[in-house]
Amino acid sequence: MTAAPSPTAAPAQPVAPFLPFTRPTIDDETIAGVAEVLRSGWITSGPQVKAFEAKLSAYCGGRPVRVFNSGTCTMEIALRIAGIGPGHEVITTPLTWVATSNIVLDVGAKPVFADIDPVTRNIDLNRVEAAITPATRAIIPVDLSGQPVDRDRLYAIAKKHHLRVIEDAAQSFGSTWQGRRIGAFGDFVSFSFHANKNITTVEGGALVLNDEREAKLAEQYRLQGVVRTGYDGMEVELIGGKYNLTDVAARVGLGQLPHLETFTTKRRELARVYFDRLAQLGAADLGLGLPVADFAHTNWHMFQVMLPEQRLALKRAEVMAQLHAAGIGTGVHYPAIHLFALYQRLGWKAGDYPHAEYAGRNILTLPLFPGMTPADVDRVVTALIGILKANRKS
């Protein structure tokens, strides 16, 4: 008697790998170049830093550029070069990484917040002008997600009121304004090359300056205020810090910079797919807020949506948890600064900046990086829309 054949199990479905909200793309040539630097014995600031600064200066139209170990100290140093300190006020946005206002406190000045434009999510320039007082010395605008603040209006306000501008362009390297690269014009411009930025040095940043006098001051602030002359001459004229970038990090940046245009093009393509798929699956009917569809200026550093708080039975954390369970990473950029305990102790409170507070509760960063595919975007959108539909308030 012939035994009945055993049933054949259905083939296992492949499990999609976890999709983070961002991931750097570093090629083999850059990795090999880092190994060469390590073998050279010169691994702290040296020839690679000089070469990286020269490339960045060329990118910024020949303006002086100095690199640092973060995109935070760059802004603090710009404030110090501008002579801003105790008794002065600096206007900025409450919807940004807290470093943007912390550095104002670090130099002894007072941050003054102006609420955001709920459409662009950048600082509302109408509110900036209304916030200016005799103590105001500078404005720090932030290009959230790489979407540039209106530079024409910004600099008109600064010129009218004799203010310095420290552009927090941490997220907008590769963005443009009216055909000009961010960094190629304006006052101080601060870039970040953190691992989640469009190009990276792992950690690091750069400050674009106006002239060689400011560049020399930046160098002093970068390394304990030291000025060297000859073989053994050393002088210290001001208090600096330990902010120098290593040659290892600079070599990563030198490898990243040639890919900037390709990275930006890919990010824009993926952003278009996001808009298309969200429209097809009815995001507008669900009340999901989308970013400005700006393909002329922004580098699409992030793709951020605004959850429909009034229509959704879940909090943002629960949406993020469900996406994580589906193998999709997300981020929050950012909570409203003035609601942190430090800032509440300084006098700010809930209700001060309602647009920033709403965004701080509901903004959600979706995956976007050059290594993604349109299929990855489809996976994210399908999962997100499914969660929103399943958890609508009745």
33 and 116 together in one domain: yes
pLDDT, tens digit, for every residue of 70-129?
Answer: 999 999 999 999 999 999 999 999 999 999 999 999 999 999 999 999 999 999 999 999
Say whether pLDDT at 380 is over 70.
Answer: yes
Asked about 315 being catalytic, the answer comes back as no
267 and 227 together in one domain: no
Domain housing 322: 260-390
Structure confidence at residue 11 (pLDDT): 54
Instruction: Answer with the one of 208, 231, 259 that is the final residue of a domain.
Output: 259
Q: Structurally, how many domains does the chain consist of?
A: 2
298 and 374 together in one domain: yes
Instruction: Answer with the one of 259, 276, 297 that is the final residue of a domain.
Output: 259
Q: Say what the pTM is.
A: 0.95
Point out the catalytic residue in the list 50, 55, 159, 197: 197
DSSP per position, 232-261: TEEEE-S---B-PPPHHHHHHHHHHGGGHH
Say whether pLDDT at 361 is over 60.
Answer: yes
pLDDT, tens digit, for every residue of 2-42?
Answer: 455 555 555 555 668 999 999 999 999 999 999 999 999 99
CB 180 within 8 A of CB 297: no
147 and 60 together in one domain: yes
119 and 242 together in one domain: yes
Instruction: Answer whether residue 302 is part of any domain.
Output: yes
- Residue (of 375, 301, 278, 388) closest to 21 by Cα position: 301
Instruction: Answer whether residue 19 is part of any domain.
Output: no
Instruction: Answer whether residue 189 is part of any domain.
Output: yes
Q: What's the average model confidence in pLDDT over 271-286?
A: 98
What H or E segment, with its residue span, contains residue 363? strand 363-366
CATH number of the domain enclosing 177: 3.40.640.10
Phi, psi of 58 (to 5 degrees): -60, -40
Instruction: Answer whether residue 125 is part of any domain.
Output: yes
